[in-house]
Structure 1
């Protein structure tokens, strides 16, 4: 009988140890977490931000397949899809939502006031009603803005002073709150000049080429803000610009690499990485979202694409090297 009780006790002890080990994964963490990633559309800048986000979490000990899982969803540029994705994440009770771009962040906040949300690639978090202020975000949300206050003025000043444009065309989706804010900033930068702003609005990426064509003969240069609809179809703008010899300027550096003439910006991967650092603090329980201030990129630079300049008939001035970096050297 004593021997039988001993065997039973050993089995019970083994079961307890087995259950205890099951609560930890291979990395030794308490348990695995799930992060829902919602991204409004696929294009290089947003993709780079997502990669930076995941890299930061990995550097903080969250290794995919070991103690963290990602549920990545693309909304294909459709706000209704973004809302469905966010509601599904809330229903699944994921541990965190990473919202990449303004529409995705708005949808996430509409879906939950409890699950922590970190956002990136948002132009105007306050105007989009995501946070009360940069210093005091909401109870369950914080993140990074992709707008440096000097970025648009620096680019517009270059177009006016160095290119000598008397009219600037801007292509944007008037339904994107982040885009209308940028167009307003362009208007402010042009105050006091005699330069005309020519607006061409779109609602889908399929309309981008027609919008670009509508600017031919009306604009000396084209400015493309960080508009997800337009940037996802940037090649359509570049095709028109190159054939008509109209210089194109961009609101972020990935578009300069893709063929725009120039733009002021920063690395979206760095921006996503900074967001991932915020996420790590929240997942570890070190801070709540409300305790982390919203931030924006600090390292702003003007970059000129020499190959694009040649295609668009723009002569590179030697003195530009004092204020810009060059691609194609």
Structure 2
């Protein structure tokens, strides 16, 4: 009787439809800050909505490189060795590390401005191999127009960035082109680690009429240092990251990174359901918010125009 029951159980195990499979999704980011954290939450929420529930049939791993590229490479190798179903690197440095570490495990990058320039894929439409993802290429022309609208007499934009981050180098080239069209010059100031951010911001005092911070993870992780210099020197500071406005930037026109994470999560779900990542075109994130901070503007000696305030999707006082 016992042997019959075991045989029946074995047959059922082979023939009954399985529940949503147990899967592992490994997420890594170069550093933790509000935008990247929001992207990670967006990925997890979409997985949950699709039936992959953490602690039940989903193992959701996360590791931060704490701003260190060598640590990012170490995490990438660790994840590659553990063999999750999908790896989701958030930010360009983490994506480069993961793509270098595996040719077999599906990779869905996110918060990467220039996937081609970072050599993550050979084509946006047909990435091929094991890699696809979501680009958050900033609308730089609109950023320049916003700075000119708020500061019509500005002549020079100070670009505060990490010269070792491919994303920021790509955006610098775009900024120079767009600034020239608007009759503006660009002055660069680089910080290769978070401890250097305040000093790099101070180096722009007297050399620029405004500071512009791109979606640079090193700078944004230590933004308060740059904000303190901007307030002390009455040097208006703008960012491409809307989550940074509540931390003291005057304004930002960009993506809601929770939504970016959700759009990324949708790609992850497609792969978990059997699609080949190399056949999924790399997408550019959809949506754009204008967030302004009246208090920060006042502290930096700026009055925001009514035209800007009326267009804002969110105003912080």
* Distance in 2 of aligned mates of 1:266 and 1:45: 9
* Distance in 2 of aligned mates of 1:93 and 1:328: 44
The 5 Å alignment of 1:164-313 reads 164-285=153-274, 287-313=275-301
* Distance in 1 of aligned mates of 2:46 and 2:25: 14
Which residue of the partner structure matches residue 113 of structure 2? 123
* Distance in 1 of aligned mates of 2:181 and 2:105: 46
Aligned to 1:308, the other structure's residue is in SS state helix
Contact 1:173 1:202 (C-alpha < 8 Å) held by counterparts: yes
Which residue of the partner structure matches residue 76 of structure 2? 86
1:16 pairs with 4, 10, 26, which one? 10
* Distance in 1 of aligned mates of 2:217 and 2:106: 24
Deviation at 1:90, TM superposition (A): 1.2
Instruction: Summarize deviations over 1:62-120 as a string: whole Å, max 9, x none.
Output: 11111110121111111111111111111111111011111111111111111000010
Which residue of the partner structure matches residue 153 of structure 1? 141
Deviation at 1:306, TM superposition (A): 1.2
Contact 1:105 1:130 (C-alpha < 8 Å) held by counterparts: yes
Aligned to 1:125, the other structure's residue is in SS state coil
* Distance in 1 of aligned mates of 2:300 and 2:313: 18
Tell me the TM-score normalised to structure 1 length.
0.90
Deviation at 1:216, TM superposition (A): 1.2
* Distance in 2 of aligned mates of 1:21 and 1:208: 60
Deviation at 1:167, TM superposition (A): 1.5
Of residues 118-127 and 300-309 in structure 1, the stretch that sits farther from structure 2 once superposed is 300-309
- For the pair shown, the structure with the greater C-alpha radius of gyration is 1
Task: Say yes or no: does 1:66 pair with 2:56.
Answer: yes
Contact 1:152 1:264 (C-alpha < 8 Å) held by counterparts: no
Contact 2:256 2:289 (C-alpha < 8 Å) held by counterparts: no
* Distance in 1 of aligned mates of 2:179 and 2:305: 23
Contact 2:176 2:185 (C-alpha < 8 Å) held by counterparts: no
Deviation at 1:186, TM superposition (A): 0.9
Consecutive aligned runs of 4 or more in structure 1 exceeding 4 Å deviation: 17-24
Which residue of the partner structure matches residue 129 of structure 2? 139
Distance 1:237 1:87, change over 3 A: same
Report the RMSD for the aligned CA atoms in angstroms. Answer: 2.0
* Distance in 1 of aligned mates of 2:193 and 2:316: 32
Structure 1 unaligned segments of length 5 or more: list them.
1-5
Task: Say yes or no: does 1:111 pair with 2:111.
Answer: no
Structure 2 unaligned segments of length 5 or more: list them.
none
* Distance in 1 of aligned mates of 2:43 and 2:265: 4
Tell me the TM-score normalised to structure 2 length.
0.94
Deviation at 1:302, TM superposition (A): 2.7
Contact 2:246 2:316 (C-alpha < 8 Å) held by counterparts: no
Aligned to 1:174, the other structure's residue is in SS state coil
Contact 1:53 1:276 (C-alpha < 8 Å) held by counterparts: yes
Of residues 189-198 and 273-282 in structure 1, the stretch that sits farther from structure 2 once superposed is 189-198
Deviation at 1:301, TM superposition (A): 3.3
